[in-house]
């Protein structure tokens, strides 16, 4: 049986005490959808199968004091290669990913110019991922690569830009603006605004 034919099912306890145990949750691709799978070149596939072969070899041996560490090290190597290859995939598919970023921008603008903020509240990363038929993690990683900031930061940046414009509409109170933007509580809006701008909405309104 070759590594590609072997179903690898490892108990979580196998990682306890290894370096991988503390960082396993940092690999976001575990939550990617099937259509977001990693596309490997023949060389990359050979490399991955080699690491899987090492893991299979260890699993077929009698366990000793080195087994857990060697299996954990090879698993970490495998996951790190996957991270590298996903980074490559994001770069080589840059044209299609730019399209996703553009669509995200359009959807974001459409959201804030509709009545959705008042109906559904602040937009979430999950909402836009679903609109673009992507898993939340893949969408988030893609936006991070393309925009240099997380999807949540991108949403907040757009929100603050819009909030700055609205704050100068002196016919509206800060509370009214907060509700228009989708905030349930005005104080949450004021806190975020001051965190991002350096001034409270009221202070910013009277700067000019």
Q: What is the pLDDT of residues 34-54, one digit of tens each?
A: 778 888 888 999 999 999 999
Report the interhelical angle of 67-92 vs 42-59 (nearest 10°). Answer: 160
Query: What is the predicted pLDDT for the residue at 1?
Result: 36
Average pLDDT in the 92-105 region? Answer: 74
Contact in structure between 189 and 181 (CB atoms under 8 Å) = yes
Identify the domain boundary among 92, 118, 141: 92
Instruction: Give one DSSP letter per residue of 7-71, joined into a string.
Output: -----GGGGTTSGGGGTGGG-GGGG--GGGPPP--HHHHHHHHHHHHHHHHHHTSPP-TTHHHHH
Domain's final residue, options 92, 120, 155: 92
pLDDT at 167 over 50: yes
| 174 compared with 8, residue with greater pLDDT | 174
Q: Which three-class secondary structure state does DSSP give residue 133?
A: coil
**Lowest-confidence pick of 2-6, 20-24, 201-205:** 2-6
Under 8 Å between Cβ of 38 and 85: yes
- What is the crossing angle of helices 151-167 and 136-147, to 10°? 70
> Are residues 15 and 85 located together in one domain of the fold?
yes
Q: Are residues 84 and 156 in the same domain?
A: no
Same domain for 104 and 86: no
State pLDDT tens for residues 125-148.
999 999 999 999 989 988 988 888
Pair 125, 155: CB distance under 8 Å: yes
pLDDT exceeds 90 at position 18 = no
Tell me: do 160 and 72 sit in the same domain: no
Q: How many domains does the chain have?
A: 2
Reference 111, options 132, 139, 141, 135; nearest CA is 132
């Amino acid at each position: 049986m070759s590594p590609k034919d072997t179903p690898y099912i490892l108990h979580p306890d196998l990682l306890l005490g290894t370096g991988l145990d503390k960082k396993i949750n940092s690999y976001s691709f575990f939550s990617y959808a099937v259509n977001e799978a990693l596309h490997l070149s023949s060389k990359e596939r050979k490399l991955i199968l080699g690491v899987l072969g090492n893991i299979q070899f260890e699993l077929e041996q009698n366990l000793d004091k080195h087994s857990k560490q060697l299996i954990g090290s090879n698993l970490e190597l495998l996951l790190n290669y996957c991270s590298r290859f996903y980074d490559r995939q994001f770069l080589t598919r840059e044209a299609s990913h730019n399209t996703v970023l553009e669509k995200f921008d359009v959807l974001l603008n459409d959201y804030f110019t509709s009545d959705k903020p008042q109906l559904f509240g602040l937009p979430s990363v999950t909402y836009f991922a679903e609109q673009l038929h992507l898993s939340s993690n893949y969408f988030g990683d893609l936006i991070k690569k393309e925009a240099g900031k997380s999807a949540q930061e991108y949403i907040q940046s757009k929100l603050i830009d819009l909030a700055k414009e609205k704050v100068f509409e002196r016919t509206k109170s800060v509370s009214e603006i907060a509700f228009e933007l989708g905030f349930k509580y005005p104080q949450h809006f004021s806190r975020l605004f001051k965190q991002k701008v350096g001034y409270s909405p009221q202070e910013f309104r009277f700067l000019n």
